């Protein structure tokens, strides 16, 4: 079982990220959970959301404290929150930043796999808004291989209708442009 | 054919209710059940369900509107949580007394105060003695299934009682997961159209909810008690029908790894899934541990409990609510009184966990079971423990 923690700010759509990734995995016949950090949501405040993905029924319903993967939608959070807290030392940290993965490794001290992509730039160029929740799904898939990128398209179409294609384009670009340092 | 879907459980609950074609849905939003009526209002607005969605101004009105609708012969549904259930409490015991088969989803949440929006079972426990059939879902699948079963059980001519289906707030309501969603055809086959026993109508005058003098009140209360106790037979029959049609088994107390168990934990609701993983860990350590997952809370399944605990040395009852000033947690109270007359009974320990959304992880269940095994040798000093209290 793979456990994932997403960091974002209220309003950046981390909940949509976890829902979309869970639906993509479920669509492939896998088992998955997607859930928000249970509580009142405040726009702009640091929030987290979570995924579990497995090939068998997932029975654990507690919070996630030792994720295998951490995804950061907004790098400005990294001075407020220790995004690598509890992260499996052999796990993966994926950050939306223009910085290189090596720079993020130095800054965070995290010794596992680090991957970075300038998702804000991609989202602005592809969608005209700096909302990176769907863009970063492309980065997550590239770094982890948990689902096929094709599997995300259907849930995105259902969710976003007419503007789904822009989200798909942004996601595919992040998939291609992600830089990974083992 | 059922379809494997991924969906937030609250939305799936609403979809399942819509498959039951209620005539009236009346609800007032309160976290964490809100997505259930909200999604039903979407389904009605989309024209997928021909129902009257009544946007009432309070939960008291929500259940009152359902009462009126059900009394007029409609299939009626509502949903609530926490203070919302308390706000409708004046109407809650009237519904079974009037034998109105209303179905209600409860997204369980702690009662204030201090104000808290997260999960525990204090809301439903406060309405324990109201006369409703009460069941607990452990996951998304059970939530869907129980919603559909609830209408059939409630409307059975030998039952005619309201049913509440409890799903843990957030732990279930807000989680996206895979489930099998029955098709309309399958639900139509399982659940016949509602034929009311009596309905208020100008052409057919009946009186409902009238005054009962002391001369008749004892008899009315005995009838209310008897019908609830007798409903278990019908619940078991309908669960059997469900199993035959859908292949998923429902029992008042589900068992997990109980073969040769010496110690067992008993849980209600979504705790059971996480506790299963703890039982696996204990079995791996060589501990003869098993799990009892109670699904039927009212009518209380006394016979099934006696059977399930026979041969156990130790039983750990896990509560998710406090009976303030009482001898132990509400579930443990019932378990102890059911076992009091038995010559052979396990040592019972009681842990109250997960209040107001306090997280309980697999390791906590393991620790609780191990403490209980230690207690086999020595009677615990306290009748119950509120687990994980900081500073204690």
Residue-wise pLDDT tens digits, B149-206: 999 999 999 999 999 999 999 999 999 999 999 999 999 999 999 999 989 999 988 9
pLDDT over 70, % of chain B: 99
State how far the Cα of B294 lies from the Cα of B300, in Å rounded to an integer. Answer: 10
pLDDT at A84: 96
Average pLDDT taken over every residue of chain A: 95
**Which of the four pLDDT bands, split at 50, 70 and 90, describes residue B392?**
confident
Check A26 against B177: CB less than 8 A apart.
yes
pLDDT above 80 (res B369): yes
The two tokens of residue B245 are 């049609």
pLDDT above 90 (res B382): no
In this predicted model, what pLDDT tens digit does every residue of B22-50 receive, in sequence order?
Answer: 999 999 999 999 999 999 999 999 999 99
Burial B225-257 (b: 16+ CB within 10 A, else e): eebbeebbebbbebbeebeeebeeebbbbbbbb
pLDDT above 70 (res A140): yes
Measure CB to CB from residue B176 to each of A33, A40, A65 and give the nearest one. Answer: A33
Check B6 against A23: CB less than 8 A apart.
yes
In this predicted model, what pLDDT tens digit does every residue of B46-63 receive, in sequence order?
Answer: 999 999 999 999 999 999
Residues of chain A with Cβ-Cβ distance to B178 below 8 Å are 26, 31-32
pLDDT at B251: 98
Measure CB to CB from residue B277 to each of A18, A22, A60 and give the nearest one. Answer: A60
pLDDT above 80 (res B377): no
| pLDDT (average), residues B317-338 | 97
| pLDDT (average), residues B264-287 | 97
Task: Give the minimum alpha-carbon distance from B118 to chain A in angstroms, rounded to a whole number.
Answer: 7
pLDDT above 80 (res A53): yes
Give the count of Cβ contacts less than 8 A between chain A and B: 69
- List helix spans (H) across chain B: 9-19, 35-45, 59-71, 82-87, 94-97, 122-125, 140-155, 184-190, 214-246, 271-284, 302-309, 330-339, 362-375
The two tokens of residue A51 are 């995924």
In this predicted model, what pLDDT tens digit does every residue of B12-23 receive, in sequence order?
Answer: 999 999 999 999
Closest chain A residue to B3 measured between Cα atoms?
A27
Residues of chain B with Cβ-Cβ distance to A151 below 8 Å are none
pLDDT at A39: 65
In this predicted model, what pLDDT tens digit does every residue of B110-133 receive, in sequence order?
Answer: 999 999 999 999 999 999 999 999
Q: Interface pTM (ipTM) of the complex?
A: 0.95
| pLDDT (average), residues A94-104 | 97
Burial B195-208 (b: 16+ CB within 10 A, else e): ebeeeeeeeeeeeb
State how far the Cα of B366 lies from the Cα of A44, in Å rounded to an integer. Answer: 38
The two tokens of residue B99 are 């034998």
Contacts of A77 (CB under 8 A, 6+ apart): A7, A8, A9, A46, A83
Give the Cβ contact number of residue B5 at 10 Å.
18
| pLDDT (average), residues B314-339 | 97
Tell me whether strands A179-181 and B385-386 are parallel, antiparallel or unpaired. unpaired
- Residue B317, judged by CB atoms within 10 A of its CB (0-12, 13-18, 19+), counts as buried
Check B4 against A63: CB less than 8 A apart.
no
State how far the Cα of B66 lies from the Cα of B35, in Å rounded to an integer. Answer: 19
Q: Give chain A's domains with CATH numbers.
A: 2-181 (3.40.920.10)
The residues in A 32-61 lying below 8 A from B, measured between CB atoms, are 32-36, 38-40, 58-61
Q: Give chain B's domains with CATH numbers.
A: 3-246 (3.40.50.970), 253-386 (3.40.50.920)
Check B273 against A18: CB less than 8 A apart.
no
Angle between helices B330-339 and B302-309 (to 10 degrees): 80
**Which of the four pLDDT bands, split at 50, 70 and 90, describes residue A40?**
low
Give the Cβ contact number of residue B339 at 10 Å.
17
């Amino acid at each position: 079982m793979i456990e994932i923690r997403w960091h974002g700010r209220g309003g950046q759509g981390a909940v949509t990220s976890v829902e979309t990734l869970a639906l993509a995995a479920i669509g492939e016949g896998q088992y998955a959970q997607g859930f928000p950090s249970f509580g009142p949501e405040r726009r702009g405040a640091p929030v987290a959301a979570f995924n579990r993905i497995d090939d068998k029924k997932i029975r654990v319903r507690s919070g996630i404290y030792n994720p295998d993967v951490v995804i950061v939608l907004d790098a400005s959070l990294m001075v407020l929150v220790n995004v690598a807290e509890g992260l499996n030392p052999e796990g993966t940290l994926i950050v939306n930043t223009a910085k290189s993965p090596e720079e993020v490794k130095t800054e965070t001290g995290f010794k596992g796999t680090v991957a970075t992509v300038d998702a804000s730039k991609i989202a602005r160029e592809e969608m005209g808004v700096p909302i990176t929740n769907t863009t970063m799904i492309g980065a997550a898939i590239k770094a982890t291989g948990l689902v096929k990128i094709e599997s995300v398209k259907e849930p995105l179409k259902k969710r976003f209708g007419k503007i789904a294609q822009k989200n798909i384009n942004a996601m595919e670009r992040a998939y291609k442009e992600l830089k990974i340092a083992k | 054919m059922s379809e494997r879907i991924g969906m937030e459980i609250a939305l799936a609950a609403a979809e399942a209710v819509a498959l039951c074609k209620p005539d009236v849905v009346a609800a007032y939003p309160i976290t964490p059940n809100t997505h259930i009526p909200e999604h039903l209002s979407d389904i009605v607005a989309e024209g997928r369900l021909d129902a009257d969605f009544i946007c009432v101004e309070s939960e008291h009105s929500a259940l009152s509107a359902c009462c009126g609708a059900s009394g007029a012969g409609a299939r009626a549904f509502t949903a609530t949580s926490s203070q919302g259930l308390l706000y409708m409490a004046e109407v809650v015991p009237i519904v079974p007394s009037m034998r109105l088969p209303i179905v209600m989803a409860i997204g369980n949440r702690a009662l204030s105060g201090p104000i808290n929006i997260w999960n525990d079972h204090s809301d439903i426990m406060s309405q324990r003695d109201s006369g409703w059939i009460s069941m607990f879902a452990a996951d998304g699948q059970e939530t869907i299934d129980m919603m559909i079963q609830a209408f059939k059980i409630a409307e059975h001519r030998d039952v005619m009682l309201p049913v509440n289906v409890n799903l843990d707030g957030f732990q279930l309501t807000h989680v996206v997961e895979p489930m099998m969603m029955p098709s309309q055809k399958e639900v139509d086959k399982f659940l016949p159209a509602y034929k009311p026993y009596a309905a208020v109508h100008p052409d057919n005058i009946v009186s409902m909810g009238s005054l009962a003098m002391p001369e008749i009140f004892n008899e009315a209360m005995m009838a209310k008690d008897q019908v609830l106790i007798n409903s278990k037979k019908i619940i078991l029959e309908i669960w059997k029908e469900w199993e035959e049609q859908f292949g998923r088994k429902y029992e008042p107390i589900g068992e997990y790894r109980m073969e040769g168990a010496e110690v067992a934990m008993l849980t209600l609701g979504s705790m059971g899934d996480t506790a299963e993983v703890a039982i696996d860990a204990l079995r791996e350590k060589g501990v003869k541990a098993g799990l009892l997952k109670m699904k039927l809370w009212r009518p209380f399944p006394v016979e099934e409990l006696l059977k399930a605990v026979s041969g156990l040395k130790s039983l750990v009852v896990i509560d998710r609510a406090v009976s303030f000033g009482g001898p132990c947690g509400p579930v443990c109270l019932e378990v102890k009184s059911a076992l009091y007359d038995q010559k052979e009974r396990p040592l019972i320990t009681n842990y109250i966990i997960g209040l107001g959304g306090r997280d309980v992880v697999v390791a906590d269940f393991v620790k609780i079971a191990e403490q209980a095994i230690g207690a086999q040798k020595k009677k615990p000093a306290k009748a119950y423990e509120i687990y994980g209290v900081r500073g204690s």
